[in-house]
Structure 1
Amino acid sequence: MMITDRPTATRRRLLTAARCRYAEDRLADAITAGISQLVLLGPALDTFARHNPYPGLHVTELTDAQFVSAASGFDLRAPAFLIRLTGTPVPRGPGDRVPLTTTLRRLGSGAAGSEIVFDYLPERHRFLPEFLSDRGFEVLEDLGAAALASRYLDRPVEGYSGEPRVIRARVRHNFGHPPSQLDSDRGDPCARTPAVTRSPPWPPSRPR
């Protein structure tokens, strides 16, 4: 049975589980590379700290608002791995009222080598690739539902575009990077569509 044949709620649970598995796999890669602190943002993986299999990994659970306000519990000066999976296209709770791009700006001002895995809806964040590039990030992967289902669920997804995509990005460098023109707009720049600008093709090309 294809995932598209399943009830919507079941399909979404399966794809949410695939995004969580992807995030944990990339965390394992980051730990192997030497990162020793994890910041969990949002409702997904909320039980990870209780079953953390990595003895040397420091885990901090924060809302976006706490992260942006530099809450204690982690060192932004040292490389960190962040996981921000909303698990739903609709923001939930006071900590989710902080725009995604505000969280990314904060991380981009931290240590080079930090990584983040997060999900997003393309229709709400049309200019996310440009924003990430302008803030000093390298996009390592940008996966949709079909790619995640093929990798983790061993079954195809066709004709369904309502699920969030998931991005893995790394901070290339910090302070001093020229801001994007989008960055000067009020609100969430990735959610805006300038009248004279057409949306770029999707998905964006990956770095070689």
Structure 2
Amino acid sequence: MEDASPSRTALRVARLRALHQFSPQAALFRDPYALAILGEAAPNAGELSQEDEHGRRMRLFVTSRARLAEDWLAAAVRRGVRQVVVLGAGLDTFSLRNPYPDVTVFEVDHPATQAWKRQRIAEAGLAEPDGAAFVPVNFEHQSLAGELAAAGLKPDEPSFFIWLGVVPYLTREAIFATLGYIAGVAGSEVVFDYSEPAGNRDAAGRATLAFYAARVAAIGEPWISLFVPDELAKSLADLGFNDIEDLDSGDIAARFARSPSTKNNSGGHILRARRSI
């Protein structure tokens, strides 16, 4: 993305979450602010009839990862976690919907995208939530730890990190620097999604990768980092994460009863990693 412009992929993802509210699967992820925060850019119900298979799959992946992240967050809150960090928040509305009055939400994003979001909140007539802090950070050039501490994050207490739709766009160095920081406090946890390289995918997965990689590259936000699951799991363990759950597309569909789990590999994953000790 350009330094002075908000992320166009963030807008696309927000429109998928909003469109989902009209779908027969809306119960998977309900978001009462998804349409309002988009304003005139919000989709209408009629767009569902124009949705092709690529669009349907991406919409379900986007909403499934959000649902999983918030389900796993609920478990973390029950364990006593009271800090949530949304990395690369885009137009995500969790801070507006936060059901936990004693949980502080830190929204981290590129400065241009975050300024755009705050403008969208204001123009929608919504109030910025009291229990949230907006933290502008360029992931590739600024210290996440330093900026979060300055915003009030307690670095010696565990946090839950939601990092959706971001990892493929970052260098491996930036990714593992962030993961190393998260693993630095026992009890901290992260949820992120990633994609496998073409060589690891079935035919449908290779076609999906080619389609979406070309699409995001065309708007100047190319995918940079892809991962082999076993290699990623080892890297996470080396950082100190000892509780890892990695769901592929078949696992995700089975989790929400859209279909039985299959061995097909379309390449998309949602992963949860926690350092429990």
Could you tell me the TM-score, scaled by structure 1's length?
Answer: 0.68
Q: Distance in 2 between matches of 1:156 and 1:43?
A: 31
What letter is aligned with 1:57? V
Aligned match of 1:57 in 103, 113, 116?
Answer: 103
Q: Distance in 1 between matches of 2:65 and 2:192?
A: 9
What letter is aligned with 1:121? S
Q: Distance in 2 between matches of 1:120 and 1:51?
A: 25
User: Partner residue of 1:78?
Assistant: 157
Q: Structure 1 stretches (4+) deviating beyond 4 angstroms?
A: 156-160
Do 1:139 and 1:167's aligned partners in 2 also have CA atoms closer than 8 Å? no
Q: How many residues align?
A: 162
Q: Distance in 1 between matches of 2:80 and 2:180?
A: 23
If you compute each CA radius of gyration, which structure gives the higher value, 1 or 2?
2
Could you tell me the TM-score, scaled by structure 2's length?
Answer: 0.53
**CA-to-aligned-CA distance 1:170-194 (integer Å, 9 cap, x gap):** 1245xxxxxxxxxxxxxxxxxxxxx
Aligned match of 2:191 in 106, 117, 135?
Answer: 117
Using a 3 Å threshold, how does the CA distance of structure 1 residues 45 and 168 change in structure 2: closer, same or farther? farther
**CA-to-aligned-CA distance 1:130-182 (integer Å, 9 cap, x gap):** 11111111133110111111112522576863442111111245xxxxxxxxx
Q: Distance in 2 between matches of 1:140 and 1:132?
A: 8
Q: Distance in 2 between matches of 1:119 and 1:7?
A: 20
What letter is aligned with 1:129? A
Using a 3 Å threshold, how does the CA distance of structure 1 residues 153 and 9 change in structure 2: closer, same or farther? farther
User: Partner residue of 1:31?
Assistant: 77
Does 1:155 pair with 2:201? no
Does 1:136 pair with 2:240? yes
Do 2:88 and 2:164's aligned partners in 1 also have CA atoms closer than 8 Å? yes
State which drifts further: 136-145 or 37-46: 37-46
Aligned match of 1:108 in 172, 183, 188?
Answer: 183
User: Partner residue of 1:177?
Assistant: none
User: Partner residue of 2:57?
Assistant: 11
| Stretches of structure 1 lacking an aligned partner (at least 5 in a row) | 1-5, 174-208
Do 2:251 and 2:262's aligned partners in 1 also have CA atoms closer than 8 Å? no
What letter is aligned with 1:86? G
Q: CA RMSD in A?
A: 2.5
Do 2:85 and 2:105's aligned partners in 1 also have CA atoms closer than 8 Å? yes
**CA-to-aligned-CA distance 1:66-119 (integer Å, 9 cap, x gap):** 5635213322211000011117x852xxxx56732121011122x101111111
**CA-to-aligned-CA distance 1:17-73 (integer Å, 9 cap, x gap):** 111101100000000000001000124671110111111110001137256352133
